[in-house]
Amino acid sequence: MGVRAAPLLAPDSKPFNLTLDGHSARVTSIGTVRTGAGEDSRVYMSLSDFRSWTGLEPSVVEIAASGGPEEVTSLLQQLQNAVPGADVRAVRQVTEGEANVLGKTRSTLLSSSAFIVCTAALCVLATLMGWVFDRRRDFAIMKALGASDLLIAMFVAGEAAALALAGAILGFAAGSGIATWIGWVNFHAPVAPRLSVFPTVLAGCLAVTLLATLLPLQLLRRIQPAMILRGE
């Protein structure tokens, strides 16, 4: 049974009746099907059970085929040759419509992601600039004590990388949780977290954060310890 049909017909996994033209069949659910499409609202049975219940032969067979237009056309020709009396049709308009919707959705998501990344980079840059400005006396003291620009740059980059790591972990966990919630509420389908994506997320966070540190590091190189310590 489809996961949407099961709660309506067999909420407690108890047997139920299906009736067609006065013929009734006692059905017991032995499992569920989840595809995220129309199959989730259907009940499936073996061909022999269907024949004994209705006394009818199936009139429509649906075949899901993936591939390009040439492969689909070739499959249609093979089916027509194998079953000469059958009316073989391709339901391309549904597939093409879904592909167009998915393509537009993908473009929108990519554009939104690019905008979010740019906004996040600006936020990180503003945060690091403020952080460097607030701690300029500390960096001036470090320079006065002999710290090199490279050492200070490594210190700033290391702290920024630690913040990026924490942000990547929290962001990935929050994003996975929100995606799972949206999947259940809107599509009644599970969205499993993909841990294989986390390295890419982490690398992206580190890249954005470290690139945002370039301008603050340029300001640190211009710090004159004597002027800062005198309060100028």
Q: What value does the mean pLDDT of the chain take?
A: 82
Model pLDDT for residues 100-145, shown as the tens digit of each residue? 777 788 888 889 988 988 898 888 888 888 887 787 787 778 877 8
pLDDT bin (cut points 50, 70, 90) of residue 99 is low
DSSP for residue 112: H
Give percent of the chain above pLDDT 70: 92
- Which whole-number Å values give the CA distances from 88 to 66, 73, 82, 155, 165, in the listed order? 16, 11, 11, 69, 55
pLDDT bin (cut points 50, 70, 90) of residue 224 is confident
Which has more confidence, 204 or 225? 204
Amino acid symbol at 137 = R
- Residue keyed to tokens 């909420």: 11
The 10 Å Cβ neighbour count of residue 63 is 9
Model pLDDT for residues 61-96, shown as the tens digit of each residue? 888 777 777 888 888 889 888 888 888 888 765 555
- Average pLDDT estimate for 23-33: 87
Are 125 and 214 in contact, with CB atoms under 8 Å apart? no
What span, in angstroms and rounded, lies between the C-alpha atoms of 40 and 46? 17
Residue 161 has pLDDT above 80, yes or no: yes
Residue 196 has pLDDT above 70, yes or no: yes
pLDDT bin (cut points 50, 70, 90) of residue 231 is low
Total-model pTM: 0.50
Which residues on adjacent β-strands are paired with residue 38?
none
The 10 Å Cβ neighbour count of residue 106 is 10
Q: What is the pLDDT of residue 227?
A: 66
- Which distant-in-sequence residues (6+ apart) come within 8 Å of 80 by Cβ? 86, 88
Q: What is the pLDDT of residue 34?
A: 83
Residue among 227, 223, 230, 226 at smallest CA distance from 152: 223
Residue 232 has pLDDT above 60, yes or no: no
Are 6 and 29 in contact, with CB atoms under 8 Å apart? yes
- Which distant-in-sequence residues (6+ apart) come within 8 Å of 220 by Cβ? 132, 139, 149, 152, 153, 156
Which has more confidence, 39 or 168? 168
Which residues on adjacent β-strands are paired with residue 2?
33
Residue 223 has pLDDT above 60, yes or no: yes
Residue 20 phi, psi dihedral angles, 5° rounding:
-145, 115
Q: What is the pLDDT of residue 93?
A: 56
Q: What is the pLDDT of residue 95?
A: 58
Q: What is the pLDDT of residue 94?
A: 58
